[in-house]
Amino acid sequence: MTEARTVLVTGGNRGIGLATARLFADLGHRVAVTARDPKSVDDRIMSVSCDQTDSDAVDAAFEDIESNLGAVQVLVANAGITRDQLLLRMSDEEFSAVIDTNLTGSYRMARRATRAMLRARWGRLIFVSSVVGLLGSAGQVNYAASKAGLVGLARSMARELGSRNITSNIVSPGPVETEMFASLTDDQQTTIIEQVPLGRVARPDEIAETIAFLASDSAAYITGAVIPIDGGLGMGH
Ligand code: NDP
């Protein structure tokens, strides 16, 4: 991508989001991150407080970014949570909180972002799903449902917005070395790694590289794609 763009990475104060925000800054773009509790992590990156379960907060965050960096041209919908629980023990709150943050929250951000993208007739929407969205995962019916939902959401946006030169794609990571993965027990981590053909977890920057590619001019003809970055874990899906 040659031209400097305004990029918003949700959930960009740590993990995959922070690695992605830093890579976009390295590439010379104007970068903002949102999170509920955004620590200022990098002088080059604008940190904005935004709980994406709240539409008014989403609108306020976009106004703040627009007045400081210009309209968002690239949205990386990365923020996500887990509330793992076995099906019979899962509460409605645990199910809805994960859907509201991961799926509905990404929808809220994308809906707001497309307003300016439609006017500009240029935009990149990139959603961070997960290998478990298509594989399923015991103890994660809420999380897997939210991540599978992102595929239908992103592909519908690809169809609806394609004629305006807005692409909408999904990256689907396997296990990545972040706080989310560290919160699993040692046994759970070992079991997952044993199933990965490459035999290791990903570094956050390995996810960031594919996201940056999807935002670049080189990916101008890619839309509606689900790109696995999972060491081979999800092969066949
Ligand atoms: P982390 O838990 O390290 O970071 C999650 C980010 O989301 C934080 O910045 C957090 O900030 C933000 N966030 C959570 N809730 C909200 C909210 N309501 N509003 C705004 N921001 C919110 O996650 P990872 O970096 O590990 O994961 C990033 C994405 O990648 C997630 O969508 C995850 O599902 C996905 N993924 C991760 C994998 C892994 O193994 N790590 C594997 C596959 C997919 P704050 O708490 O301050 O709000």
Reported as a single tens digit per residue, the pLDDT across 136-174 is 999 999 999 999 999 999 999 999 999 999 999 999 999
| CA separation for the pair 3, 150 (Å, rounded) | 28
Q: Is 175 in the pocket of ligand 1 (CB under 6 A)?
A: yes
Give the pTM.
0.98
- Catalytic residue of the set 62, 127, 143, 181: 143
- Of 61, 55, 1, nearest in space to 29 by CA: 1
Q: Is the Cβ–Cβ distance between 229 and 173 less than 8 Å?
A: yes
> For 83-111, how does the pLDDT look when each residue is reduced to its tens digit (9 = 90+)?
999 999 999 999 999 999 999 999 999 99
Q: Give 213 Cα–ligand 1 centroid separation in angstroms.
A: 21
Nearest-CA residue for atom 6 of ligand 1:
11
Alpha-carbon distances of 12 from 37, 97, 199, 217, rounded to whole Å: 10, 19, 27, 23
